[in-house]
Structure 1
Amino acid sequence: MIEVVVLNFGTVLGKKSERLVIREQGKVVKEIPFRDISALTIAARGVSLSSDVIRECIEHGIQINFLTSSGRPYAKVTSPQLSGTVVTRREQILAYNDARGAALAIAFVEGKLKNQANVLKYFAKYRRVADPALYAELEARLARLEAIRSELESLSGTTVEELRGTIFSIEGRAAQEYWDGVRLLLGERVEFTGRERRGAEDPVNAALNYGYGILYSHVWGAVMLAGLEPFAGFLHTDRPGKPSLVLDLTEEFRACVVDRTIVGMLLRGGTVKMEEGRLTDETRRELARRVLERLEAEETYEGRKHKLRTIIQRQARCIASFLRGERRYKPFVARW
């Protein structure tokens, strides 16, 4: 199964028999059987697709994602049947005001911080001999990150509202240590002064934001397939148009999917090119390729090897099962 990513302005998507037909400048550049497509992501302006393509995608369970040039998702086309599970959504709404919601919020941050630590450990292990001074600095930040993470274990409170401020304080202090560690790793290879979110114009943050957009689309699809309400989260606050639960689950996977991929690319001599404050088309294609490749990589999950994209889907289903009282929820932590 492959994910089709459209990055060129003016691309036309059509259907021929059981195949998706991709045309650029009037010429057919690729034909792909719909049965071989896992998702269709459109990350360019001026792209046209027929209603036949949309219907065929829905019938094959293919979600269509739309991203801006900076990687921010702004639309998704899915089957209305995905929102047909009532019991799970009823429990999801009720859980916000009881201990289940608090437990999920803590778990999402615990997973995020453990994966951030493991990303630093992954890159630090290659510096133990090659650069002992850098290794020592990274170890010091890892120790502080772990001390901050351990504060999650002593939280007291029964609802998300009671705990959210403390949880975000823990997350914020840990993030400072983590991103400082990333800055040390990158050194003089590329300028990176710290994490910036929307509107970032430096190469590293622009690349991270673009990668997060691709990840975010996969998480959204997994949340919907699990029968969950994307806009009813626990860690992130409610706001019209804000898919809080998608953002919640994305936190677990940011470091192990996107950060590791982009930091690794830069440390191996890769470059991120910008034009007029935005990523070049060539860079966006390369970033998309690398992030999607990482999603195809296997990690150990519940005693067996699974692709990361499959693990995301399984974690979404675990949230649903936890909300229905069928099992406990354990955040995913990637190996290092």
Structure 2
Amino acid sequence: MHLFISNYGAFIGKKSERLMVKENGKVVGEYPFHDLEHITIDSLGVTISSDAIKECSEHGITISFMTPGGDSYALLYQPTLNGTVLTRREQLFAYRDERGIEMAKCFVKGKIGNQINTVKYFAKYRKTANPAEYKAVCSLVDEMAMLAGTLPQIKGTCIDEVRGSIMALEGRISNLYWECVKLLFSGNVQFPGREHRGAQDPVNSLLNYGYAILANQVERALVMAGLDPFGGFLHVDRPGKKSLVYDFIEEFRQPVVDRAVIAAVNKGMDIKIEDGLLDLATRKSLAAKIIERLEASERFQGRKQSLKTIIQAQARRIATFLRGEAKYKPFICGW
């Protein structure tokens, strides 16, 4: 279970074998620790007891802290990383050889595949309802697929030699993808195009908040697989930048967040902005939709599995690839 605490002034404590949540001095929820996997706190003024933190650590429950604007600023998890020291050593060594290039290309390949399939998923309902829009979207998808075919042609001996080429290709395809998304909204909402931190329009505010939730899920999976969230390949190293989180999240933005946001907007979701931020009701509604997507099933390795399970499995696949024990194949959702 993924529990969200969004109300100002809430108190989180321990009562026997349960996590207890109080608001205004009254108990509003009790949750057995064995039922919890993740707690996200996205409000200011929330208090959590050391007893609750200790119990969460012992049960492997991650605690994420976010601002109401979707900026993640802390993540608490067990101090003992799973996996072997060999995994982290090989992760750092891989930056200097062709494994780093392979990982970066896999992340981008997964992102492109999921962008194309997400567009196809929503476009198929417009084939008869809006043929002109469907034709325009298909034209953009064809161009995306054509550009994607050039990814294998990028060659080098280490990621620093080819990062610019990979990122440039990814950027061109993403621009086409967001043009498709704009068409898919069919005028239901004004969408100026993709904007990141600081965006105040409804769609980008939803996307940025959703990606923050996903980033915490992704980091948790990487840590549990014994990987260093800061040791990425596609995204450059900077102090405090969790490059591998930014790398790995690319594979899951569309199936988890974009699908939830596009569907919600087209179904007339009531999106309210207060002081440049999503209001509490909108954040709660979106968080529920993101969690629903994480619990949704996709075909993976020959059977249906939840997306959150697939994220964890793919994190472990990264580790086995870096140790030279298996190939890495990006996850691409169906449509």
| TM-score with structure 2 setting the length | 0.99
Q: Distance in 1 between matches of 2:334 and 2:157?
A: 31
Alignment deviations for residues 6-32 of structure 1 (CA, whole Å, 9 cap, x no partner)? 000000001010000000011000101
Counterpart check, 1:145 vs 2:144 = yes
| Counterpart in the other structure of 1:193 | 192
Listed as ranges, the matches of 1:134-213 within 5 Å are 134-213=133-212
Residue 314 of structure 2 aligns with which residue? 315
Question: C-alpha deviations, 1:277-304, integer Å up to 9, x for none?
Answer: 1100000000000000100001111101
1:257 aligned partner = 256
Paired position in structure 1 for 2:287:
288
In the alignment, which residue of structure 1 is the partner of 2:6? Answer: 7
CA distance in 1, matches of 2:156, 2:6: 47
Deviations 1:193-214 (A, max 9, x none): 2000000000000000000000
Moved over 2 A (4+): none
TM-score by length of 1: 0.99
**C-alpha separation in 1, matches of 2:42 and 2:58:** 22
* 1:255, distance to aligned residue in structure 2 (A): 0.8
Task: State whether residues 95 and 159 of structure 2, in contact with CA within 8 Å, keep that contact through their aligned partners in structure 1.
Answer: yes
- Give the match for residue 44 of structure 1: 43
1:138-197 deviation digits (Å, cap 9, x = unpaired): 000000010111110211112111110000110110011000000111132100020000
SS at match of 1:332: coil
Give the alignment's Cα RMSD to 1 decimal.
Answer: 0.8
Matches of 2:283 and 2:270, distance apart in 1: 11
Give the whole-Å Cα distance in 2 for the aligned partners of 1:71 and 1:6: 14
Please give the alpha-carbon distance, in whole angstroms, between the structure 2 residues aligned to 1:195 and 1:94: 34
Unaligned runs of 5+ in 2: none
Q: Distance in 1 between matches of 2:203 and 2:322?
A: 37
Q: Secondary structure at the match of 2:199?
A: coil
Give the match's secondary structure for 1:126: helix
1:290-332 deviation digits (Å, cap 9, x = unpaired): 0001000011111011100000000000000000000000000
Aligned residue for 2:287, secondary structure, equals: helix
Once residues 327 and 181 of structure 1 are traced to their aligned partners in structure 2, the CA distance between those partners, rounded to angstroms, is 35
1:325 is aligned to 2:324:
yes
- How many Å apart are 1:84 and its aligned residue? 6.8
**Take 1:146 and 1:133, find their aligned partners in 2: how far apart are those partners?**
20
Partner of 2:116: 117
Q: Which whole-Å CA distance do the structure 2 matches of 1:84 and 1:326 have between them?
A: 14
Q: Deviations over 1:198-243 (max 9, x none)?
A: 0000000000000000000000000000000110000000001000
Aligned to 1:54: 53
Counterparts of 2:106 and 2:83 in 1: how far apart (Å)?
Answer: 27
Task: Tell me if the contact between 2:82 and 2:225 (Cα under 8 Å) persists in the aligned partners.
Answer: no
**Quick one: percent identity of the two aligned structures?**
51
Query: Could you tell me which amino acid in structure 1 is paired with residue 289 of structure 2?
Result: R
Counterpart position of 1:266: 265
Task: Provide the rounded CA distance (Å) in 1 between the counterparts of 2:82 and 2:43.
Answer: 28
- Report the residue type matching 1:74 in the other structure: Y
Cα shift at 1:76:
0.6
- 2:100 alignment counterpart: 101
Aligned residues: 335
The letter of the residue matching 1:296 is: E
* Structure-2 residue corresponding to 1:79: 78
| Alignment map for 1:201-240 (pairs within 5 Å) | 201-240=200-239
**Residue aligning to 1:242:** 241
1:85 Cα deviation (Å)?
Answer: 2.8
Tell me the residue number matched to 1:33.
Answer: 32
Distance in 2 between the 1:123 and 1:49 partners? 41
Distance of 1:270 and 1:75 partners within structure 2:
29
Structure 1 residue 82 displacement after superposition? 1.3
Could you tell me which amino acid in structure 2 is paired with residue 58 of structure 1?
A: S
1:74 deviation in Å?
0.7
Q: Contact 2:83–2:224 (CA<8 Å) still a contact in 1?
A: no
